[in-house]
Structure 1
Amino acid sequence: MPLLNSPRRMSHSLRALAWLLRYPDDEMRAALPALSEALHDERALIAGRLVELDDLIDRLAHAPALRAESDYVELFDRGRRTALHLFEHVHGDSRERGQAMVDLAQTYERAGLLLAPGELPDYLPVVLEFASTQPQAEAREFLRETAHIVRALFTALLERRSAYASVAAAVLDLAGERCDKVTLPEEPSLDESWAEPEAFGGCSTQGQSRPGQPQPIRVVRPQPAATRSAA
């Protein structure tokens, strides 16, 4: 059972989980022993979860660098189900995602924190880093707001038989949420996900008008050359 009402601190564990989800470059892999130590010293997670995280850490530590990096890209960058950008799961590329990210960035700013250049606020490691800076009750409540997305990510990672599923499970534990599998919708093929919308026919379904509604076109008569010159 997750530690629903544990008085233990969990800030170091949250930060360690954020690091475990980072791209496994040399800096990240050099930090693996410290991440394991932080998780075990704080003991905010149950023993079984720590064993699972130790397995992931061991795999990352001993895998060839290029293999670890290519596996990470294949897992997290090639499909929506396992995307680490949380709002991609619920909003895709719609305009609603943009507004949700603005709102989340403002939440960070109200806490006195600013995103690094080029960083998106819904990136799960960023979410965990932010939670690690908050008092425990507020951090847990903040994480609960994303639990339905993290649960879907956990399920997708289990389906891929990825050791990274232990990180999503640990996030749910720290949020005080059940670590259950959920039913996932069918994922579009990679070709379909990257398909360009139709120039005109697809316009009404891509955010400018509701489906089935005509797309207004403004026609302007050309000005005579003399008039343009005078202007």
Structure 2
Amino acid sequence: MMDRSLKALSLILSYPSRELQRTMPEIGAVLGADPRIDAVTRDALSALADGFARADLYDLQERYVMLFDRSRTLSLNLFEHVHGESRDRGGAMVSLIETYREGGFEPATPELPDHLPVLLEFLASRPAREAREILADAAHILDALGARLVRRESDYAAAFAALQQLGGTRADAEAVADMLARPDDDPTDLAALDAVWEETEVTFGPDPGAGCPQVRDMLAAMDGPAQKPMTRSA
């Protein structure tokens, strides 16, 4: 049975579209009815969904890009926070794709497979215990992203608070502190953004050393921030 809250969070963290705006009342209702999420977070999610539904679409899209595309420390591509530009990320990506396929999951999106909304859509279809374990293994990444969003006074922070609660595990404080030690990016610094795009592309070709067939194993290896920041690809 599908975990409707994970599916709803996948959607709420996706790039804003007119269709997504139209479904936001239903998304808010799903999250507002989940007893696994505490009352304060449910209220914050309700405000996020309501604001999403009512806002100008272009304003929503600009806000999303400034947060998640132009801020590498807020990237929704999880492996960016671990592997940097190293070949290891390409191998991990190949293994993640294989894991999706083994689970009968083919993402209908141009996003990379480690994009958080894609992973959440996959987890929504997995057994509850497996989904909780994977969320718990990624807890320090989700916690750090949530903390950065709180700093920026972004209502998206509520989505990460909900994910932490659905995972049911407190993030390792030292790992979170290591991630937060990286300075926040300035999304208005276009020169720095151009420099990122000029960095070497990640290679996704076969890697004989990439044999990690389980998503949980890969996320469990996320024990610290990347040594070199990466760019989000579409």
User: Which residue identity lines up with residue 17 of structure 1 in the other structure?
Assistant: L
User: Which residue identity lines up with residue 52 of structure 1 in the other structure?
Assistant: A
Conserved 8 A contact 2:136-2:169: yes
For each residue in 1:129-167, what CA deviation from the matched residue of structure 2 results, as whole angstroms up to 9, or x when unmatched? Answer: 111101111110121222121112111111111000110
Higher relative contact order (CA 8 A, sep 6+): 2
- How far residue 10 of structure 1 moved from its aligned partner, in angstroms, is 7.8
Distance 1:160 1:117, change over 3 A: closer
User: Which residue identity lines up with residue 62 of structure 1 in the other structure?
Assistant: R
Is 1:194 the counterpart of 2:194? The answer is: yes
Q: How does 1:42-191 map to 2 (within 5 A)?
A: 42-116=34-108, 118-178=110-170, 182=177, 183-187=180-184, 190=189, 191=191
Conserved 8 A contact 1:10-1:44: no
Distance 1:94 1:161, change over 3 A: same
Distance 1:156 1:126, change over 3 A: same
Q: Secondary structure at 1:139's aligned position in 2?
A: helix
Larger-gyration structure (1/2): 1
Q: Which aligned segments of 4 or more residues in structure 1 are displaced greater than 6 angstroms?
A: none
TM-score normalised per structure 2: 0.74
- How far residue 40 of structure 1 moved from its aligned partner, in angstroms, is 2.8
**In 2, Cα distance between equivalents of 1:64 and 1:115:** 28
What are the ranges of 5 or more consecutive residues in structure 1 without an aligned counterpart?
Answer: 1-8, 199-231
TM-score normalised per structure 1: 0.75
Partner of 1:218: none
Conserved 8 A contact 2:73-2:185: no
- How far residue 68 of structure 1 moved from its aligned partner, in angstroms, is 1.2
- How far residue 74 of structure 1 moved from its aligned partner, in angstroms, is 0.9
CA RMSD of aligned residues (A): 2.3
Partner of 1:38: 30
**In 1, Cα distance between equivalents of 2:31 and 2:109:** 29
**In 2, Cα distance between equivalents of 1:29 and 1:117:** 18
- How far residue 15 of structure 1 moved from its aligned partner, in angstroms, is 0.5
What are the ranges of 5 or more consecutive residues in structure 2 without an aligned counterpart?
Answer: 201-234
Percent identical across equivalent pairs?
41
